[in-house]
Amino acid sequence: EKEFAKYIGVKYAIATSSCTGSMHIALSALDIKKGDEVIVPDITWVSTANAVMLVGATPIFADVDLNTWTLDPNSVESLISDRTKAIMPVHLYGHPAEMDKIMSLAKKYNLKIIEDCAEAHGVEYKGKKVGSIGDIGAFSFFANKTITCGEGGMVVTNSTELAEKAKRLKNLSY
């Protein structure tokens, strides 16, 4: 955990059983719940939307950029409603999402950012590793990923509060 946090450039990394588990923990740590909406890209692995539904929230599907297949920030703003609580960009196939524009929208509308980094170990966006840009990130170590141990995941964050919540949620000690 310490080495991975250092590698990503964050203060905290919490090992989990899977990236789906990491996303579920991340959403729960951010208090995303029933009635909330989370904007996700319309091309990704099913776990991104499933994690949103696991906390009772509704995934809202945004278009992707035709060149990178990552979340298109131009598609996001029109989908934001009073129920939107977060944006969940997916750094897909080693391509980072356009984080400057996504972070700008998050700031403008007071939204949280959960980075799905399952397929983006070591990927940088403007000199920063993905997972270190938003509020919290999730990585996968499944057998087909860049860094693998057969299974497993990691939650990463710079927030002491979110790291402590993630540790409690991981151990089911709410």
The HSE-up count of residue 83 (CA atoms within 13 Å, CB side) is 13
Q: Give all strands of the β-sheet with 84-87 in edge-to-edge order.
A: 12-16, 153-157, 136-140, 112-116, 84-87, 37-41, 58-62
> How many helices and strands (H and E) does the chain possess?
6, 9
Determine the Cα–Cα distance for residues 48 and 31; give it in Å rounded to an integer: 17
pLDDT for position 143: 64
Look at residue 33 and tell me whether its pLDDT is greater than 90. yes
Q: Which is it for the CA torsion 159, 147, 90, 16, positive or negative?
A: negative
For residue 61, which phi and psi values (nearest 5 degrees)? -90, 125
Look at residue 173 and tell me whether its pLDDT is greater than 70. no
Exactly one of 145, 165, 167, 170 is catalytic; name it: 145
Higher pLDDT among residues 143 and 160, named by residue: 160
Q: What length is written for the chain?
A: 174
Our answer to whether residue 145 is catalytic in this structure is: yes
**pLDDT tens digit string along 82-118?**
999 999 999 999 999 999 999 999 999 999 999 999 9
What pTM, to 2 d.p., does this model score? 0.95
